[in-house]
Structure 1
Amino acid sequence: MTTPPPAEWAPHDAVWIGFPSHPELWADDLEPARAEVAAFALAVHAGGAGERVLLVAADAEAGGAAEAMCPFAEVIVEPFGDIWLRDTGPIIGGDGRAHAFRFNGWGGKYELEGDDDLAARLAARAGLVLSSNDWVLEGGAVDGDGTGTVVTTRQCVLNPNRNPGLSEAEVERRLREELGFRQVVWLEEGLLNDHTDGHVDNLARFVGEGRVAIPEPGENDPNWQVYVHALRDARAAGLEVVLVPSPGRVLRDEQIVPASYMNFYLGNAVVVVPTYGAANDDAAVTAIGALFPGRRAVGLRADHILTGGGSFHCISQQIPPRS
């Protein structure tokens, strides 16, 4: 029987973190985004109390910059399209096997050279046995509690731009057989203007066995209906729901962006929460930190990373200890 991936609060041996590498993609945000990634990596390292940090850079120039900014980290140079390793890196199961899925640029939106086989290359570097699965699944589209329960969204996983022809029942079968999940909790849609078509790691995250955190619907929040529906569906599936603050309406160039405190990263020593200069930043860091009392809660700005479409959870992928 396939063993499901460990919950993110289980111990990590190391973490892969994508380092911004392509000036043509990041433009004026390249250096500020690198600074935000470096601050995130430093927080996760936690002076040696956290996991090993493996910064993944796409070329020699970016690798040199990563080494200069993060001397505490190991730098890996592997070609990739962009830094979203939660989606392009492997998902590691409870048996230590790395699982690679097809990647099609979030439904054909951003197909960049090097992203489609990065999972296999990172797994080989880490000496992991690789299992290849011939359908599209991004790591940010699923979140599990380590016991076999997983939460996901229909908007993303059942989107015809990913897996045309796959039914909900067929996806559930594959999640059971290939990743060991036993209960699939389906939410409907993700955040407004999320180019991932509704990744669940911006909406609902497990914070304990059978216990999920979801943003609290609030006035003038562009995602309030999304949160209401997610609350309804999570509770209907028998999950305990913890409400945490939402950043509300966050604008960049007068456009609503999918800013989310749910895109936190849970390391061995810290929980790192992205902040955006929103009124609820401090309250969210406090609330999420209270869910993990054995870890230090750190709030870090992620404005420039967000210009690429994601935040700290999106750019990272943890590696469990070898059994």
Structure 2
Amino acid sequence: MIKTLAEWSKQELLMLALPHEKTDWKPYLDEILQGYKDFIKAVSAYQKVLLIAPNEADFKPFKDFQNVEFFQCDTNDTWIRDYGAIDICENERLMSLDFSFNAWGNKFQSQLDNEVNSKLFKQHFKSELRTIDLILEGGSIDFNGQGVMLTTKTCLLNENRNSHLNQGELEAKLKQIFNLKTIIWLENGFIKGDDTDSHIDTLARFIDEETIAHCICEDEEDEHFLPLLKMKEELQKTGFKLVELPLPKPLYYEGRRLGASYANFVFINEALILPSYADEKDELIKERLQKALPQRKIISLDARVFLRQNGSLHCACQNRFLGQR
């Protein structure tokens, strides 16, 4: 029997692939590394963190951190949410799935990223990794842990992923792999500055088995207003409880609008790391999620520098769950 794991399940550790000199972070490497330091410090207070980078020197800024492990491995990019292995529970033990990664439809180089899981599981975890012949990114799907998956048609049905499969064929395959009862396919919603073809983790996320937190736009003149309103109307038909996450005011870097979204939060053991953007809505969102998740500490973390490469906190990490392997 296969069971998907909601992200609030107990975790063994959180994996992060560090920015380095050979990534697009190079022009402002010190700034993004400070962002990673803040992120790792917040997470490591609650659970173990595993850092991945090509060179021993890349780990130097983090050597004094507590509760942190290191794995040396070449990478193209930092967004390990999308190429890191996805855990499921199979016959009451954890199994890790390795899907193919093509850098969001062959937009960037991805060969090194696509090899990380095989190296990591062979040399570090030394546990079973099952290869799945399907292109799938972790940020494109979200589970409630009870057989329901949330995703977007814009991403999963894009011809740059699995063009040989239509919606029915892909749905059947995903239901088999994850033993799903239902897949919620959202047709609407996007975040400007996101180059993933609308990953669900920038738009709408399960926060418990019965509740979805989702982005809305309160400015009727903003290009997000109508698409997110239509997405909300879709979500209202699902029967799940809803928590609204209003977008922050537009953020720009070198004239380009950045993809700021409060939906890109990260579950860790006993807490939730919430991206903040030096916006007046930061505290409102924090209070709203704290009310919805009273047993979990909500920790705000400035994520503005992460946005410069079209991602945020959730994109920058991948969960490894706790259990018998």
The answer to whether the 8 Å contact 1:51/1:267 transfers is: yes
Q: Which residue of 2 aligns with 1:122?
A: 120
Write the mapping of 1:247-262 to structure 2, written as runs, cut at 5 A.
247-262=248-263
Moved over 3 A (4+): none
Kept in 1, the 8 Å contact 2:44–2:66? The answer is no
> SS in structure 2 opposite 1:165?
coil
- Structure 2 residue aligned with 1:58, among 54, 61, 64? 54
Unaligned 5+ residue runs, structure 2?
none
Secondary structure of residue in 1 paired with 2:160 = coil
Q: Which amino acid aligns with 1:214?
A: H
**Kept in 1: contact 2:23–2:77 (CA 8 A):** no
2:176 aligned with 1:177, yes or no? yes
Note if contact 1:153-1:198 (Cα within 8 Å) is conserved in structure 2: yes
Contact 1:274 1:300 in 2 (8 A): yes
Contact kept? 1:105, 1:112, Cα under 8 Å:
yes
Number of equivalences: 318
Q: Is the 8 A contact 1:90 1:122 kept in 2?
A: no
When the two chains are superposed, the root-mean-square deviation of aligned CA atoms in Å is 1.7
Taking the aligned partners of 1:300 and 1:110, their CA distance within structure 2 comes to 28
Q: Which moved more, 1:122-131 or 1:294-303?
A: 122-131
Q: Structure 1 stretch 217-226 or stretch 133-142: which is displaced more?
A: 217-226
**Separation in structure 2 between the aligned mates of residue 321 and residue 198 of structure 1, nearest angstrom:** 29
Residue 85 of structure 1 is aligned with which of 80, 95, 98? 80
The verdict on how the C-alpha distance between 1:315 and 1:144 changes in structure 2, with shifts beyond 3 A counting, is same
Asked if the contact 1:245/1:283 (under 8 Å) is kept, the reply is no
Q: CA deviation at 1:45?
A: 1.7
Match of 2:206 in 1: 206
The structural deviation recorded for 1:63 is: 2.1
| 2:215 aligned partner | 215
Q: TM-score, normalised by structure 2?
A: 0.93
Deviation of 1:137 after TM superposition, in Å, equals 0.4
Distance 1:226 1:62 in 2: 41
Residue pairs, 1:30-179, within 5 angstroms? 30-46=29-45, 50-68=46-64, 70-95=65-90, 96-124=94-122, 125-179=124-178
Give the whole-Å Cα distance in 2 for the aligned partners of 1:318 and 1:14. 6
Q: 1:255 and 1:173, CA in 2 relative to 1: closer, same or farther beyond 3 A?
A: same
Contact 1:90–1:120 under 8 Å retained in 2: no
Query: 2:238 — aligned with what?
Result: 237
1: CA distance between counterparts of 2:145 and 2:20? Answer: 33
> More deviation in 271-280 or 260-269?
271-280
User: 2: distance between equivalents of 1:212 and 1:112?
Assistant: 31
Structure 1: gaps spanning 5 or more residues: none
Note the alpha carbon deviations across 1:5-53, whole angstroms, 9 max, x for none: x11111111111221123551123211111111111111122xxx1211
How many Å separate the matches in 1 of 2:249 and 2:203? 13
**Which residue of 2 is the match for residue 227 of structure 1?**
228
